[in-house]
Amino acid sequence: MSEIETIVQDFELLDDWEDRYRYLIELGRDLAPLPEASHSEANKVRGCASQVWLETHVERDDGKPPVLTFLGDSDAHIVRGLVRLVIAFYSGKPAPEIIAADVLELFQKLDLASHLTPQRSNGVRSMVERIKNDARAAMAA
């Protein structure tokens, strides 16, 4: 089972929003560490109220679309959980799948969208746009 499938299953077991909120924070605590050198301006996601960094790695295999993996971090606990959720959804996928996939549908399914502040929702959109732009750039290269 993939990480995102496990996260979705765990969310579906939690009925109360407070429990989901705590689980999101727990996901952030378990986010793979981003090297300090990667907390750079180049990796900073614009449009987030909190500080968010995304590092993109592109793997190329002749004749196949590039596969992208992501590392990320934030200075806010709940946002770290959102970063982990977004990374689990997109990381390890070929660029065309990343471009076509919409994590916001998952946020609706998990009932996260209705519980996020407008600032956090905008931050998630900024992360998604950055990931999709990186996938487009990888396809163009």
Catalytic residue of the set 48, 82, 85, 110: 48
Measure the CA dihedral 33/38/40/46, to 10°.
Answer: -60
d(CA 27, CA 43): 21
CA distance between the termini of the chain: 32
In this predicted model, what pLDDT tens digit does every residue of 29-43 receive, in sequence order? 999 889 999 999 999
The CATH number of residue 111's host domain is: 3.90.1010.10
In tens, the pLDDT along 101-126 reads: 999 899 998 888 888 888 999 999 99
State pLDDT tens for residues 48-96: 889 999 999 999 998 899 999 999 999 999 999 999 999 999 999 999 9
The two tokens of residue 108 are: 């609706």
Question: Considering its fold, how many domains does the chain have in total?
Answer: 1
Q: What domain range is 110 assigned to? A: 3-140
Residue 1 has pLDDT above 90, yes or no: no
Q: Is 7 a catalytic residue?
A: no
